[in-house]
Amino acid sequence: MTMSAFWGISFYLCVELGIRLLWMPMMHKKGLYFWACCVASLGVLTQPLLVILSAWGPLHNDSPYLAHSLLEISWWMMVVPQSLVLYSRLNLVVWNPDHARYVLYMIIFTTLFVSFPTMGFGISMQSSTEPRRVRFYFIWDKTQVTVFFVQEVIISLLYIVATRRVLQNRATIGDTKKNITAVMQHLIWCNVLVVILDIALLGLSVSNQYFVAGAFRPCVYGVKLRVEFSILNRLVKCLRGQTDMSYPYSSGNSGQSKKQPDDSSWRSTPRDDVRLGTLRHDSEVDSEVNILPPSRSQPHLREGRDRSMESALNKDEILQTTRIEWDSKEREKSRTA
Share of the chain above pLDDT 90, in %: 28
The pLDDT assigned to 182 comes to: 82
For 161-180, give the DSSP string. HHHHHHHHHHHTTT--HHHH
Do 14 and 41 contact (CB within 8 A), yes or no?
yes
The torsion of the CA quartet 48, 52, 53, 59, rounded to 10 degrees, works out to 120
β partners of residue 289 = 276
* H helical segments located in the chain: 2-23, 31-55, 64-88, 97-110, 116-124, 131-171, 177-206, 210-246, 263-268, 294-297, 299-336
pLDDT: which is higher, 74 or 211: 74
Backbone angles phi, psi at 250, to 5 degrees: -80, 165
Do 281 and 174 contact (CB within 8 A), yes or no?
yes
Three-state secondary structure readout of 261-293: CCHHHHHHCCHHHCCEEEECCCCCCEEEECCCC
The pLDDT assigned to 200 comes to: 93
pLDDT digits over 251-292, tens only? 343 334 444 444 444 444 444 444 444 433 443 333 333 334
The pLDDT assigned to 147 comes to: 95
* Whether pLDDT at 3 is above 60: yes
The pLDDT assigned to 233 comes to: 80
CA 211 to mean position of chain CA atoms? 36
Give the integer Cα–Cα distance in Å for 19 and 24: 8
- Average predicted confidence (pLDDT) for the chain: 76
* Whether pLDDT at 333 is above 70: yes
pLDDT digits over 95-146, tens only? 888 889 999 999 999 999 999 999 998 888 876 678 888 888 889 989 999 9
Residues with Cβ within 8 Å of 39's Cβ and at least 6 positions away in sequence, in order, are 77, 81
CATH C-level class of 2-246: mainly alpha
The pLDDT assigned to 282 comes to: 41
Mean pLDDT of 200-207: 90
- Other beta carbons within 10 Å of 135: 10
Do 198 and 149 contact (CB within 8 A), yes or no?
yes
Do 142 and 206 contact (CB within 8 A), yes or no?
yes
Do 222 and 9 contact (CB within 8 A), yes or no?
yes
- Other beta carbons within 10 Å of 244: 15
β partners of residue 276 = 289
β partners of residue 287 = 278
Give the integer Cα–Cα distance in Å for 292 and 276: 10
Helix (H, G, I), strand (E, B) or coil at 216: helix
**pLDDT bucket at 63, cuts 50 / 70 / 90:** confident
The pLDDT assigned to 259 comes to: 45
For 229-246, give the DSSP string. HHHHHHHHHHHHHHHHHH
**pLDDT bucket at 308, cuts 50 / 70 / 90:** low
Give the integer Cα–Cα distance in Å for 303 and 292: 16
The pLDDT assigned to 309 comes to: 59
- pTM of structure: 0.68
DSSP letter for 130, please: -
Helix (H, G, I), strand (E, B) or coil at 57: coil
